[in-house]
């Protein structure tokens, strides 16, 4: 997705967070289906149906190994859907459940972000308040085995073995740097609450909010984050850095809602497709800008995609924010998840969307107002140094400096033209 090979991060909580991106090698602005899946057409084109039947028969009769009918038909369906575009996919019942859970912000598990690294699955981050954090797992811990099953570098296997019902237990053997002996942890799975939003004060009057994905709770989480920043900065917020780097998207309505948090009025996104449901326009709700017009900058990069691009495009087109970083991914389509009768679902591209200016970003991305050099990703920033974020992260540093400049210019404009001495 970005210029380097993106790290696959899974939240081991019964589902892979951002599973849609991992599943289809892309990212999505997702809409739940507002109607049941349409019934199949009464007839199929005879020649195409005959071709399919002939190929099916030859495989069943002549293929070197016997193939189960169910498996063969499911693979045929997957091939038909994935051949349409990189973002459409057939989901079996388990995949459908995982993609549903990935958008809720709450699901059962042990609460670990894990990443494949140097032939092992390592802990990237134990989620705040999770069983993993309470048990004492630390970033960098390598998972050797789960319930006696050796994991190696298999991220999918690690995720699979750590899934389970709340209240059940799972035993992890861990290799920790600096410890000669392997460590054993027995964790009791629980319902883990995962926030996609984090905030901090960069310096008095200037805030920072990072959104890692767009779930059903993101709009509420962003609103609460702004309120906490206002509480912590009694003299008021003079500006905000909104970090959307490496945010692969998620729920369309959540992206629209976040843009609405910073806009007073106007169109946020419009879309066009073949069906009435695929053609829509979403506007700001006129509830007001929670920042009260304070300067805003948005950090983006090649991993900023889908719903994240909707937010960035809306704020840029309305002149509400300056974009800083690198060109975004360029995914200008909307996928609708349609439940099927047997328990699975169809994730199908149904619309192309447009920014408020009417531009399509499909395959193009959005070029920032201030282009930074180098593929800087948030995960590459040294968080262990103890230095402030605005010092160790060049993009955040540029964002903060830009906010100060914009605030100064706005104050000068409000004060009117400078006075001049009269020459007698």
Residues in Cβ contact with 327 at an 8 Å cutoff, skipping those fewer than 6 apart: 300, 302, 365, 366, 367, 368, 371
Q: 252-261 vs 218-232: helix axis angle to the nearest 10?
A: 30
Which of 141, 221, 246, 317 is labelled catalytic?
317
C-alpha distances out from residue 118 to 138, 152, 163, 202, 256, Å: 17, 10, 23, 34, 38
Confirm if 352 and 361 have CB atoms less than 8 A apart: no
Residues written for the chain: 424
- State whether residue 228 is helix, strand or coil: helix
Bridging pattern class, strands 280-283 and 267-272: antiparallel
C-alpha span between 6 and 372 (Å, rounded): 19
Which of 195, 213, 306, 333 is labelled catalytic?
306
Give bridge partners of residue 186 from the DSSP assignment. Answer: 171
Q: Is 69 exposed, middle or buried (0-12, 13-18, 19+ CB in 10 A)?
A: exposed
Distance of CA 112 to the CA centre of its chain: 17
Confirm if 356 and 267 have CB atoms less than 8 A apart: yes
C-alpha span between 278 and 275 (Å, rounded): 5
The dihedrals phi and psi of 67, each to the nearest 5 degrees, come to -115, 130
C-alpha span between 47 and 49 (Å, rounded): 5
In the sheet with 239-243, reading across from the earlier edge strand, the strands are 197-203, 206-211, 239-243, 296-300, 322-325, 370-371
Determine the longest span between alpha carbons in the chain, in angstroms: 106
Buried b (16+ CB within 10 A) or exposed e, 125-138: bbbeebbbbebebe
Give bridge partners of residue 209 from the DSSP assignment. Answer: 199, 242
Listed in order, strand segments (DSSP E) in 136-193 are 142-146, 149-150, 169-175, 183-188, 190-193
Which of 122, 238, 316, 331 is labelled catalytic?
331
Confirm if 200 and 208 have CB atoms less than 8 A apart: yes
- Whether 306 sits among the annotated catalytic residues: the reply is yes
Active site residues: 306, 317, 331
């Amino acid at each position: 997705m970005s210029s380097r090979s993106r790290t696959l991060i899974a939240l081991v909580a019964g589902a892979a967070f951002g599973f849609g991106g991992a599943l289809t090698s892309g990212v999505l602005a997702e809409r739940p289906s507002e109607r049941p899946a349409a019934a199949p057409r009464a007839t199929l084109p005879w020649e195409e149906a005959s071709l399919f039947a002939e190929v099916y028969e030859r495989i069943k009769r002549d293929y070197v190994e016997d193939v189960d009918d169910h498996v063969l038909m499911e693979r045929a369906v997957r091939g038909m859907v994935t051949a349409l575009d990189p973002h459409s996919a057939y989901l079996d019942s388990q995949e459908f459940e995982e993609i549903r859970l990935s958008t809720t912000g709450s699901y059962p598990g042990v609460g670990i972000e894990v990443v494949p690294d140097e032939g092992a699955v390592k802990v990237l981050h134990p989620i705040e308040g999770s069983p993993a954090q309470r048990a004492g797992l630390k970033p960098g811990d390598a998972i050797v085995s789960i319930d006696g099953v050796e994991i190696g570098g298999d991220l999918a296997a690690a995720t699979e073995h750590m899934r389970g019902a709340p209240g059940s237990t799972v035993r992890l053997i861990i290799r920790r740097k600096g410890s000669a002996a392997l460590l054993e942890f027995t964790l009791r799975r629980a319902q883990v609450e995962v926030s996609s939003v984090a905030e901090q004060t960069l310096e008095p009057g200037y805030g920072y909010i990072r959104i890692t994905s767009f779930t059903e709770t993101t709009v509420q989480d962003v609103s609460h984050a702004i309120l906490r920043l206002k509480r912590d900065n009694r003299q008021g917020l003079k500006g905000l850095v909104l970090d959307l780097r490496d945010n692969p998207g998620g729920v369309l309505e959540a992206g629209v809602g976040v843009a609405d948090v910073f806009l007073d009025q106007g169109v946020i996104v419009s879309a066009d497709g073949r069906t009435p449901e695929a053609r829509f326009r979403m506007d700001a709700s006129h509830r007001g800008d929670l920042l009260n017009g304070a300067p805003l900058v948005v950090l983006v990069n090649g991993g900023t995609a889908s719903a994240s691009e909707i937010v960035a495009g809306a704020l840029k087109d309305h002149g509400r924010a300056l974009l800083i970083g690198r060109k975004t991914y360029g995914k200008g389509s909307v996928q609708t998840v349609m439940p099927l009768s047997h328990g699975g679902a169809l994730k199908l591209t149904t619309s192309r969307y447009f920014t408020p200016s009417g531009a399509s970003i499909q395959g193009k991305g959005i070029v920032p107002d201030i282009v930074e050099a180098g593929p800087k990703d948030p995960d590459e920033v040294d968080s262990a140094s103890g230095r402030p974020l605005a010092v160790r992260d060049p993009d955040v540093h540029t964002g903060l400096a830009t906010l100060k400049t914009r605030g100064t210019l706005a104050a000068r404009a409000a004060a009117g033209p400078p006075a001049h001495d009269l020459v007698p």
